[in-house]
Amino acid sequence: MSLASSTIASLRQRLVAKEITPRDIVQDVAAAIEAQNPAIGAYLSWDLEKALAEADQADLSQPLGGIPIGIKDNMNVLGEPCSCASKMLAGYTAPYNAGAIEKLRAGGGIPFGRLNMDEFAMGSSTENSALGITRNPRDLDRIPGGSSGGSAAAVAGNLAIATLGSDTGGSIRQPAALCGCVGIKPTYGRISRYGLVAFASSLDQIGPITKTVEDAALLLNHLCGKDARDSTSLDIEVPDFTAALGRDIKGLRIGLPKEYFISGIHAGVSASIQAAIKKLESLGAIPVEISLPHTDVGVSTYYIIAPAEASANLARFDGVRYGHRTAESKDLLEHYLKSRAEGFGPEVKRRILLGTYVLSSGYYDAYYIKAQRARTLIRQDFEKAFEQVDVIVSPTSPTPAHKLGELKDNPLAAYLEDIFTIPVNLAGLPAISIPCGTAEEGGKQLPVGLQIIGKPLDEATILRVADAFEKA
């Protein structure tokens, strides 16, 4: 087995035993990138010399010591590009490290490579990148999901040991499901958003994409914690998430929301999810039917709140302070118009326009305030459900990965791909997606993801359930 296809846990054992060095790992990952990235398109750039220098200085006494981790291109890493896969930030170099990057380095991890994404994290396919598409390693004619498509494709294609992504409405879990990886979105506020380029500030959350549940727990241990520079960062003790692994799940109540098991789910996805539920039941879990009655307004609520926040956050990209600057303009107004028109892609423009509309005079109460009320109802649905159950399970995505270009001209259909992940972000809950089988589509067997949703700050229980299922 190549080092690039290994897990964090197995590599750490070999590093401690002095069978390999951090330099060996970085070089093997770099060789995999050189060989496979032209076909997959997961990476936008990578600085091998810088990573090797860090590898040579790695502190192997640290839990992540010597392990290279790929970084989604919307997190600042000092001295490296941070383009958010947009022409708007072409040539921008990060002047500081994001809080999550500082914590990763403090645990011994080595940030290595910038991973492709939907522009400014707006999309579910990574087809919205201004810098080129990413392909699903399981079938190169299909999408890897998004917006963290590069992060998931790198792990699935063994171009990375593990990666970091960001999740605003499912952007870690959905690509992890479509590529056959593990992806976890922790409770909102668990991981600092300082240095993460904002899409929707009340929804965005950083998290890992890995090959195993154990690796996800290892990374979470060294990403979570209070950051005074992020006012939403939670000042609570970070448990050892690996302590939850290896425990049985006998007696745990598994919620099955009737609104998530609908007729529109792909038949292969449905069969894999039902088989996964039976497997959990055979391990001693107790299935309980529950209701999340406001699920049907989740997508529409999200696509009012998220674009509204995006329109405010992206207002700073005006070509004056930083960002793309048009070459020709006769006055300041034309400068703004041309710079933003040239710098932003179609999906980003669509969401800025929608967000500006719902925040405008006469529509704020009609749309934005109502959406916030609906968000409260969605959160209350989960609170009531968790009075009956310990975790909730569902499909991560209603369909397997579709073909490249299939939904590019139908954004509303693409938005519905996130129907099961969006409510988790609106409620600020933790959730993990793990591989649970395959679905046949077009003569190919494509990965299916099982989503496990937990109570606020109860990442330990969803990791426990995911680990038990994975090992079974």
- At position 85, the amino acid (one-letter code) is A
| Residue that has been written with the tokens 């979105």 in this structure | 185
Q: Of 125, 171, 192, 270, which one is the catalytic site residue?
A: 171
Angle in degrees, 0-180, between the axes of helices 213-221 and 459-471, rounded to the nearest 10:
150
Q: Which long-range contacts (CB under 8 A, 24 or more apart) does 282-286 make?
A: 282/472, 283/248, 283/249, 283/250, 283/468, 283/469, 283/472, 284/248, 284/249, 284/250, 284/251, 284/252, 285/249, 285/250, 285/251, 285/252, 285/253, 285/254, 285/465, 286/251, 286/252, 286/253, 286/254
83 is catalytic: no
Q: Of 86, 125, 147, 148, which one is the catalytic site residue?
A: 147
Phi and psi at residue 92, to the nearest 5°: -75, 135
Between strands 431-441 and 391-395, the pairing is unpaired
Nearest by Cα to 71 from 40, 28, 111: 111
471 is catalytic: no
Q: Which two tokens stand for residue 18?
A: 């002095």
Instruction: Write out the DSSP string of 102-132.
Output: HHHHHTT-EEEEEE--SGGG--SSS-S-TT-
Please, what is the end-to-end C-alpha distance for the chain in angstroms?
A: 23
272 is catalytic: no
Between strands 391-395 and 286-290, the pairing is unpaired
For residues 173 and 192, what is the distance between their CA atoms, to the nearest angstrom?
A: 19
For residues 359 and 350, what is the distance between their CA atoms, to the nearest angstrom?
A: 14
Q: Which two tokens stand for residue 223?
A: 């990403």
Between strands 286-290 and 253-257, the pairing is parallel
Q: Of 72, 103, 338, 455, which one is the catalytic site residue?
A: 72
Residues annotated as catalytic are 72, 147, 171
